[in-house]
Structure 1
């Protein structure tokens, strides 16, 4: 848990020993970090409502996570948007520059998140952040290789038995029942839709890049978070 908090938040917590086993446990526990972040965002919404609250939450989460997932989203968008073999896409992702695809992806995702957060029940916000971190374990499930021989992807790829992401998403479908008041189906549907989008995304990533990277994990997190928020906002 220390490593998960160290990786995924700005909390001044030492990571301790970092090896493949510890990294695997951190990925499995990442949804609990999402719960803490979601509760912090929900607390902010008690003082700021509507679109203002939505944008404040988006900004707070960017600060609280060092913008790490947003950076992954931007790099992944640029990598997937370029022509050429996987080596070319991976080089673009590692370059660190911000291209047109990254800019559009950030504008659309952050805009959708801000608007949706401003119009949903706080429970949907918490749910979205937990689902986003549960996406890590699906990206790192057994059988999915790393796209590079080094980096975060190589450390955590194929570390999660399939029952870990399956268990998280199964639990979250039932936990999501009360997050859209008056429409008990909306929360579970949002989790299911996010899971389907995540499966399609990782299928394309594996076909396009050959495996996962740290950037892919960040992109998957932001993508699933956004899907949950948008579905709950549309239902509400």
Structure 2
């Protein structure tokens, strides 16, 4: 797991990039690291805790996935054939669709946390990281970039270990608060983004996987907020 941490987070430790793709099974464990500070901020009920929690989250994971989300949205929204969409996604300039997607994801996360317990950010991050693992398991690379690089080493063993870790991490909270188990439904959001990506681009690249991570987290928080408000 040590090699995947510096690649997926801004934690200042050394890692071997070549070995990192053999450790994607540890994606669910990364949620513990990436959500630790945001969870603490929410637990302590600090002033402006929602904004501080999201800011601390991105200070740990960086903005790579948000950048991928922006590029992905530009590609999805452009009119034209598959080649035109891929070209728009790879364009270095961010369009209005990308800006809108980033703003909405940030807004949804900050707003949803108003109606959720402090551990919700951990569940959302857990879903986000597991959705990335599932995306790599599709084995549908687009091009020969980072998506292909990690998919090349993805196998049933890594998926099985990652799934086991996901289950071990999520179900204790479900026993503590049965409503929290509804967070699993958030994975359907990630599955939908995967389908949309494959339908529009013919496969998944780093931008698509970044979009899957961001939209899954935001979607999980929104769905959980709806369930908690409905059942309170």
- TM-score category (smaller protein): 0.7 to 0.9
Scaled by the length of structure 2, what TM-score is found?
Answer: 0.87
How far has the Cα of 1:92 moved from its partner?
1.8
Scaled by the length of structure 1, what TM-score is found?
Answer: 0.85
The alpha-carbon distance between structure 1 residues 160 and 105, as it changes in their structure 2 partners (threshold 3 A), is farther
Task: Please name the residue that 1:228 is paired with.
Answer: 220
How far apart in 1 are the matches of 2:146 and 2:211? 14
Task: Please name the residue that 2:183 is paired with.
Answer: 190
Task: Please name the residue that 2:97 is paired with.
Answer: 101
The alpha-carbon distance between structure 1 residues 65 and 11, as it changes in their structure 2 partners (threshold 3 A), is same
CA contact (8 A) 2:82 2:202 kept: yes
How far has the Cα of 1:2 moved from its partner?
2.4
Task: Please name the residue that 2:143 is paired with.
Answer: 148
Q: What's the RMSD between the two structures over aligned residues? A: 2.2
Structure 2 counterparts to residues 1-236 of structure 1, below 5 A = 1-16=1-16, 18-19=17-18, 22-49=19-46, 52-141=48-137, 143-149=138-144, 151-157=145-151, 159-161=154-156, 163=160, 166-167=163-164, 170-171=167-168, 174-178=171-175, 181=177, 184=178, 186-191=179-184, 193-236=185-228
CA contact (8 A) 2:4 2:21 kept: no
Provide structure 1 residue ranges, at least 5 long, that are not aligned to the other structure: none
Deviation >6 Å, runs of 4+: none
CA contact (8 A) 1:45 1:53 kept: yes
How far apart in 1 are the matches of 2:54 and 2:3? 24
How far apart in 1 are the matches of 2:93 and 2:34? 28
How far apart in 2 are the matches of 1:160 and 1:137? 11
Task: State the Cα deviation string for residues 199-224 of structure 1 (Å, max 9, x = none).
Answer: 22212211211111111111111111
CA contact (8 A) 1:190 1:227 kept: no
